[in-house]
């Protein structure tokens, strides 16, 4: 079995091969994305927005993440699966962070966890990596801190903020993370961080200088109508396809065009004749 490991991901950076990552929340999509050849799947806490109807990632629980991570792991056989640590599952204490991170590896089959933040989460990152749990960091726009950040906006725009982000990135690497997500930071800063680190950076809204890219699968497919951030490229507009297919179904059922004879199951005439 040639399963992608954290070592494969690190090697890609040294070979100059770009790393691809997408989100997945269920087994069906995980299988499709895995078969298409993506390197990493992220069971993102964006499951809260994308699948569960919350308006942020804050309400997402450990139990919800474990449930979705288990499904994704059943569908993925080649790529590396990373599970997001949900809000408040790693902030209270290092002990609690370690116990929760361990649950993903023990109970779901995920090969790594991801958590948001810089210097303040380095003790948790160290504890996890010391315990054999691979960690992906996440800096820049960290959606679990939306209320602290005062909204969803580009991070690291001025000298002080950019310098802090660069230092946080170095500390996350030193703490033992094997990769780092950079979300919504200026392309120039993301390039500088990528050059400064030996671990790969995975960008989302962070330009083309990162060592890899990640997108929310539903955004890439155009499955969700409505707001689309600037950094998203919708490779298809599947929400219109879904809507058209469902309208056709409704129409055909109402007009008795569906199910047609070829969709029906039959019994022998002599059996039918014996019924009274």
Element (H, E) at 196: helix 187-196
> With CB cut-offs between 5 and 8 Å by kind, which of ligand KIV, Na ion, none does residue 128 bind?
none
Q: In the complex, what is the shortest distance from the CB of residue 263 to ligand KIV, in angstroms, rounded to a whole number?
A: 38
> With CB cut-offs between 5 and 8 Å by kind, which of Na ion, ligand KIV, none does residue 189 bind?
none
Q: In the complex, what is the shortest distance from the CB of residue 2 to ligand KIV, in angstroms, rounded to a whole number?
A: 25
State which residue, 185 or 192, has the beta carbon closest to Na ion: 185
Residue 165 has phi, psi (to 5 degrees) of: -65, -40
Whether 264 has a binding-site annotation, put simply, is no
Whether 194 has a binding-site annotation, put simply, is no
The answer to whether the beta carbons of residues 82 and 23 sit under 8 Å apart is no
> With CB cut-offs between 5 and 8 Å by kind, which of ligand KIV, Na ion, none does residue 39 bind?
none
Look up 251 and say whether it is catalytic.
no
Whether 96 has a binding-site annotation, put simply, is no
The residue length of the chain stands at: 276
The answer to whether the beta carbons of residues 41 and 20 sit under 8 Å apart is no
Binding site for ligand KIV (CB under 6 A): 23, 42, 44-46, 84, 181, 183, 204, 214, 216
Residue 203 has phi, psi (to 5 degrees) of: -95, 150
Whether 243 has a binding-site annotation, put simply, is no
> With CB cut-offs between 5 and 8 Å by kind, which of Na ion, ligand KIV, none does residue 23 bind?
ligand KIV
DSSP 117: B
Q: Which one of the listed residues 17, 167, 173, 183 is annotated catalytic?
A: 183
Whether 116 has a binding-site annotation, put simply, is yes
> With CB cut-offs between 5 and 8 Å by kind, which of ligand KIV, Na ion, none does residue 216 bind?
ligand KIV
d(CA 49, CA 122): 27
Binding site for Na ion (CB under 5 A): 44-45, 84
State which residue, 80 or 214, has the beta carbon closest to ligand KIV: 214
d(CA 13, CA 6): 11
State which residue, 97 or 214, has the beta carbon closest to ligand KIV: 214
State which residue, 42 or 113, has the beta carbon closest to ligand KIV: 42
Strand partners, 139: 182
The answer to whether the beta carbons of residues 200 and 10 sit under 8 Å apart is yes
DSSP 74-138: HH-SSSEEEEEPPTTSSSS-HHHHHHHHHHHHHHT--SEEE--BSGGGHHHHHHHHHTT--EEEE
The answer to whether the beta carbons of residues 82 and 40 sit under 8 Å apart is yes
Q: In the complex, what is the shortest distance from the CB of residue 175 to ligand KIV, in angstroms, rounded to a whole number?
A: 19
Q: In the complex, what is the shortest distance from the CB of residue 40 to ligand KIV, in angstroms, rounded to a whole number?
A: 11
Give residue for tokens 């030193």: 174
DSSP 51: T
d(CA 181, CA 203): 6
Q: In the complex, what is the shortest distance from the CB of residue 143 to ligand KIV, in angstroms, rounded to a whole number?
A: 7
Show the beta-strand stretches assigned E in 105-219: 112-114, 135-140, 179-183, 201-204, 212-215
State which residue, 172 or 248, has the beta carbon closest to ligand KIV: 172
- Residues annotated catalytic, as ranges: 183
| Residue ranges of the binding site | 45-46, 84, 114, 116
| Residue ranges of the binding site for 3-methyl-2-oxobutanoate | 45-46, 84, 114
| Residue ranges of the binding site for Mg(2+) | 45, 84, 116
């Amino acid at each position: 079995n040639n399963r992608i490991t954290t070592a494969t991901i690190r090697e890609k950076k040294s070979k100059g091969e770009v790393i691809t990552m997408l989100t997945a929340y269920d087994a069906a999509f995980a299988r499709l994305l895995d078969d298409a050849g993506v390197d990493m799947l992220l069971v993102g806490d964006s499951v809260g927005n994308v699948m569960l109807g919350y308006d942020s990632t804050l309400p997402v629980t450990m139990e919800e993440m474990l449930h979705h991570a288990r499904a994704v792991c059943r569908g993925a056989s080649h790529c590396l699966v990373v599970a997001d640590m949900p809000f408040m599952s790693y902030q209270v204490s290092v002990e609690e962070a370690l116990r929760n991170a361990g649950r993903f590896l023990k109970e779901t089959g995920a090969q790594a966890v991801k958590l948001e933040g810089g210097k303040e989460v380095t003790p948790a990152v160290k504890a996890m990596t010391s315990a054999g749990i691979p960690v992906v960091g996440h800096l820049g726009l960290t959606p679990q801190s939306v209320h602290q950040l005062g909204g969803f906006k580009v991070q690291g725009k001025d000298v002080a903020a950019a310098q802090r982000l660069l230092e946080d990135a170095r500390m996350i690497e030193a703490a033992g993370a094997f990769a780092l997500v950079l979300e919504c930071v200026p392309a120039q800063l993301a390039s500088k961080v990528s050059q400064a680190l030996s671990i790969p950076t995975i960008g989302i809204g962070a330009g083309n200088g990162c060592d890899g890219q990640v997108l929310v699968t539903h955004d890439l497919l155009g499955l969700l109508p409505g707001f689309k951030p600037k950094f998203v490229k919708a490779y298809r507009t599947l929400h219109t396809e879904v809507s058209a297919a469902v309208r056709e179904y409704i129409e055909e059922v109402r007009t008795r065009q569906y199910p047609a004879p070829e969709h029906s199951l039959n019994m022998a005439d002599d059996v039918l004749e014996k019924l009274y």
